């Protein structure tokens, strides 16, 4: 995606252009009613920049510069000989606030991380609080990635600051045309992506376009083609989409539901998720964003966003014990691998819904509900590999069994990766794939993690660590360590300090641990204290309930499908390495018990897989030392894990 701005021109032309002409260009790109406050702010910004640049006519200026990942616009970007300045104005402000510094630093970090031409370019975030004092110019300090600490100045001193930045000749001259020609490859968090999609009904500005990453529009086009064929032929179709952790499956599902709703309202396309924390966080984020943008009440905002993402259990319960026909013709099931087995579904229905005769797996029931439609329908299942983390979660085996035994007329489209062991057992899927009604489509797999934009091979490294392949893990770590730091520590406070030191702007960090990590409590990590996901993921530095406080720790159930920039993974004895293999345990009462059941062992293994793939930019792994005087925390539960992780190439925090 190319660079976008309402106005951009060489500085020399900007100085010659009339203020009213520049204002007209800005207004024509605005696409909203131009309020007097915005008009006045633009005019003052133009005047300040003209004075500041009057003696420095080289370079290029961009006004209302689009920041795709955040769905926002920086007031100005100035590209000079060897530097990029990101400038945010606070007209009339008499002081530099921390939130304003965070805002302009976030813009600079977005440019650094996601604009291909800016990866090796020095970037200076500048806050212009027009009536405030200015910081000493000598305070411009660059981090390792060449993003400077935000600098505060005022209207009168902006020119002096720009002149000083121009004088920093230690960096190579920037080729302006080449910089402008490079594209944006934004990698938003699922919260940011959902907000942008909800506002614009498009993923064009938030999806990557490089060949190494599957474009969300390509996946959407493939699924839409399948839906169109089902509609034309009046057939019933199920489609399995696979993807590595963080590859954008949830965003893809939201995009499909949104596009079909816009283009074919009579299909009543709906996105359903059984991930309660994900639903809560996305709904709250969308509601807060709508309140801020439109000034509506909290109740009105919440009422509207409920239709954008729905809880699968509410959909399921609506059709239990009756023969009602769903109005929906297109249904997208997120995290389909977490649907319940026959035993788990029957037990729940008997205990919680008063249905003693219920005898179907959740996949079988959900397909049977859609099968009630007399004409046509399409079911889209979004499947994560190695992501089953709770008792009774079936993977996709139950979906396949239901299709084979009860729904032989349904057409089936699958990702070719569905035959891999992390998705389903080899024997069942090979038999299933041999059927003439099953078609394989390469576009139905998302191969590259968008979450870990600094290390697209992170999921491979984590798989190797979890699968006890230390040599392969060491090799994989070598390929990502320069851009994606992972450290080991035995000091939880050291882990906290590292997280705080790495984050800049509003980059989010937090502590996570397995739900079975019950003997981390002596380290101040109490996994039984449940978090409120919306507060933990969305609230700011000042809220003790937020992840920033590093007090409340989130389990795999709270974080699956979501992400943070920097993560501290806290490792307990429930899944420890004995210098030979992984050992699975569960803490009951006053002691650890060995986990023998293969399904429970898989859930425990996957829990750590989920925890280790939550960080977008880097993580630190805390492994306690244990205590020889505490039978529930013997050092052998922790020393072997620490040594094994070191053998995988992970360095100790200096």
**Edge-to-edge order in the sheet of strand 5-10:** 5-10, 60-67, 72-79, 84-90, 123-129, 151-153
Tokens of residue 72, six digits: 């926002």
Mean pLDDT of 532-540: 96
Mean pLDDT of 398-419: 92
Quick one: pLDDT band at residue 69, thresholds 50, 70, 90? low
The secondary structure element, H or E, covering residue 489 is: strand 486-489
Quick check: 286 and 300 in contact, CB under 8 A? no
The secondary structure element, H or E, covering residue 310 is: strand 310-311
Residues 83-110: tens digit of each pLDDT: 999 999 999 999 999 999 999 999 999 9
Quick check: 50 and 15 in contact, CB under 8 A? yes
Task: Give residue 185's pLDDT.
Answer: 73
Residues 617-628: tens digit of each pLDDT: 999 999 999 999
pLDDT higher than 50, residue 210: no
pLDDT higher than 90, residue 30: no
What does the domain layout of the chain look like in residue ranges? Answer: 5-181, 214-275+308-446, 458-647
Paired with 153 in beta bridges are 128
Sign, CA torsion 113/119/124/130: negative
φ, ψ for residue 623 (rounded to 5)? -120, 115
- Chain mean position to CA 451: 5
- Chain mean position to CA 74: 22
Task: Give residue 200's pLDDT.
Answer: 73
Paired with 382 in beta bridges are 241
Task: Report which of residues 615 and 389 the model is more confident about.
Answer: 615
Most confident of 21-35, 234-248, 608-622: 608-622
Distance CA 284, CA 278 (A): 10
As assigned by CATH, the class of the 458-647 domain is alpha beta
Percentage of the chain lying above the pLDDT 70 cut:
93
Tell the residue number behind the tokens 């509601």, with chain if given: 287
Distance CA 166, CA 424 (A): 58
φ, ψ for residue 175 (rounded to 5)? -80, 105
Task: Give residue 328's pLDDT.
Answer: 94
Instruction: Report helix, strand or coil for 77.
Output: strand
Quick check: 566 and 509 in contact, CB under 8 A? yes
Quick one: pLDDT band at residue 29, thresholds 50, 70, 90? confident
Quick check: 191 and 75 in contact, CB under 8 A? no
Task: Report which of residues 202 and 528 the model is more confident about.
Answer: 528
Task: Give residue 183's pLDDT.
Answer: 75
Quick one: pLDDT band at residue 207, thresholds 50, 70, 90? low
Task: Report which of residues 255 and 425 the model is more confident about.
Answer: 255
How many C-beta neighbours within 10 Å does residue 459 have? Answer: 25
pLDDT higher than 50, residue 428: yes
Task: Give residue 243's pLDDT.
Answer: 85
Task: Give residue 40's pLDDT.
Answer: 92
Q: Is 533 exposed, middle or buried (0-12, 13-18, 19+ CB in 10 A)?
A: buried
pLDDT higher than 70, residue 176: yes
Distance CA 81, CA 218 (A): 38
Name residues whose C-beta falls within 8 Å of residue 110's C-beta, 6 or more positions apart in sequence. Answer: 67, 68, 69, 70, 186
Task: Report which of residues 276 and 412 the model is more confident about.
Answer: 412
Mean pLDDT of 559-566: 93
Q: What are the helix (H) ranges across 267-407?
A: 276-294, 298-305, 312-318, 342-352, 362-371, 397-405
Quick check: 183 and 555 in contact, CB under 8 A? no
Q: What's this model's pTM, rounded to 2 decimal places?
A: 0.84
pLDDT higher than 90, residue 514: yes
Quick check: 401 and 377 in contact, CB under 8 A? no
Quick one: pLDDT band at residue 209, thresholds 50, 70, 90? very low
Quick one: pLDDT band at residue 452, thresholds 50, 70, 90? low
Task: Give residue 193's pLDDT.
Answer: 80
Task: Give residue 213's pLDDT.
Answer: 47
Quick one: pLDDT band at residue 204, thresholds 50, 70, 90? low
Distance CA 538, CA 551 (A): 15
Residue 605: half-sphere exposure toward Cβ, Cα within 13 Å: 22
For the chain, the maximum distance between any two Cα atoms, rounded to a whole number of angstroms, is: 83
214-275+308-446 and 458-647, same CATH topology = yes
Mean pLDDT of 176-191: 81
Residues 163-173: tens digit of each pLDDT: 988 887 677 88
Mean residue pLDDT across the chain: 90
Quick check: 199 and 287 in contact, CB under 8 A? no
Task: Give residue 285's pLDDT.
Answer: 92
Task: Give residue 426's pLDDT.
Answer: 47
Mean pLDDT of 348-359: 92
DSSP state of 636: H
Quick check: 198 and 286 in contact, CB under 8 A? yes
Residues 318-331: tens digit of each pLDDT: 999 999 999 999 99
pLDDT higher than 60, residue 212: no
Residues 372-403: tens digit of each pLDDT: 999 999 999 999 876 666 777 777 888 999 99
pLDDT higher than 80, residue 502: yes
User: What's the fold here for domain 214-275+308-446?
Assistant: Rossmann fold (3.40.50)
């Amino acid at each position: 995606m190319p660079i976008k701005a309402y106005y951009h021109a060489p500085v020399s032309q900007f100085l010659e252009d009339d203020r009213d002409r520049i204002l007209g260009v800005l207004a024509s790109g605005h696409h909203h009613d131009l309020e007097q406050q915005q008009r006045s702010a633009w005019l003052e910004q133009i005047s300040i920049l003209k004075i500041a640049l009057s003696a420095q006519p080289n370079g290029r200026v961009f006004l209302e510069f689009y920041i795709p990942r955040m769905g926002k616009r920086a007031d100005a970007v100035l590209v000079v000989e060897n530097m990029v300045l990101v400038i945010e104005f606070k007209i009339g402000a008499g002081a530099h606030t921390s939130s304003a510094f965070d805002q302009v630093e976030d813009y600079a970090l977005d440019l650094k991380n996601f604009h291909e031409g800016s990866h090796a370019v020095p970037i200076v975030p500048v806050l212009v609080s027009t009536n405030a004092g200015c910081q000493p110019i000598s305070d411009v300090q660059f981090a390792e990635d060449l993003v400077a600490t935000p600098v505060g100045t005022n209207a009168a001193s902006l020119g002096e600051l720009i002149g000083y930045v121009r004088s920093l000749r230690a960096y190579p001259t920037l080729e302006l045309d080449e910089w402008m020609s490079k594209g944006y490859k934004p990698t938003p968090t699922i919260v940011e992506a959902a907000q942008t999609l909800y506002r614009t009904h498009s993923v064009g500005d938030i999806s990557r376009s490089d060949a190494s990453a599957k474009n969300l529009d390509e996946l959407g086009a493939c699924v839409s083609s399948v839906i169109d064929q089902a509609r034309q032929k009046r057939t019933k179709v199920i489609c399995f989409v696979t993807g590595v952790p963080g590859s954008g499956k949830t965003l893809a599902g939201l995009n499909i539901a949104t596009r079909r709703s816009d283009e074919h309202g009579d299909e009543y396309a709906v996105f359903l998720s059984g991930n309660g924390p994900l639903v809560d966080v996305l709904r709250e984020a969308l509601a807060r964003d709508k309140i801020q943008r439109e000034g509506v009440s909290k109740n009105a905002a919440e009422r509207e966003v409920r239709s954008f993402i729905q809880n699968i259990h509410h959909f399921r319960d609506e059709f239990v014990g009756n023969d009602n026909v769903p109005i929906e013709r297109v249904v997208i099931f997120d995290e389909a691998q977490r649907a319940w087995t026959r035993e788990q579904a029957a037990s729940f229905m008997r205990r919680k819904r008063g249905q003693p005769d219920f005898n179907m797996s959740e996949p079988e029931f959900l397909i049977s509900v859609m099968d009630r439609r007399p004409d046509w329908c399409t079911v889209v299942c979004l499947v994560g590999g190695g992501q089953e983390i709770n008792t009774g979660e079936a993977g996709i085996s139950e979906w396949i069994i239901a299709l084979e035994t009860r729904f032989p007329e349904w057409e089936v489209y699958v990702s070719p990766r569905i035959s891999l062991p992390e998705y389903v057992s080899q024997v069942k899927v090979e038999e299933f794939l041999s059927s003439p009604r099953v078609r394989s489509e390469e576009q139905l797999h998302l191969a590259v993690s968008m979450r870990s934009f600094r290390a697209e091979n992170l999921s491979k490294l984590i798989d190797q660590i979890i699968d006890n392949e230390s040599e392969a893990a060491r090799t994989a770590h070598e390929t990502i360590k320069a851009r994606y730091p992972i450290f080991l520590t035995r000091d939880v406070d050291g882990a906290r300090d590292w997280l705080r030191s790495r984050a800049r702007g509003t980059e989010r960090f937090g502590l996570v641990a397995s739900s079975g990590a019950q003997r981390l409590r002596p380290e101040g990590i109490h996994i039984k204290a449940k978090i409120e996901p919306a507060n933990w993921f969305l609230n700011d530095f000042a809220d003790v309930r937020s992840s920033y406080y590093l007090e409340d720790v989130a389990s795999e159930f709270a974080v699956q499908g979501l992400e943070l920039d920097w993560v501290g993974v806290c490792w307990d004895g429930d899944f420890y390495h004995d210098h030979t293999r992984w050992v699975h345990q569960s803490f009951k009462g006053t002691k650890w018990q060995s986990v023998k059941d293969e399904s429970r062992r898989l859930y425990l293994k996957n829990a750590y897989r989920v925890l280790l793939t939550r960080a977008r930019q880097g993580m630190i792994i805390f492994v306690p030392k244990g205590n020889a005087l505490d039978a529930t925390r013997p050092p052998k539960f922790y020393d072997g894990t620490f040594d094994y992780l070191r053998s995988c190439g992970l360095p100790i925090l200096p």
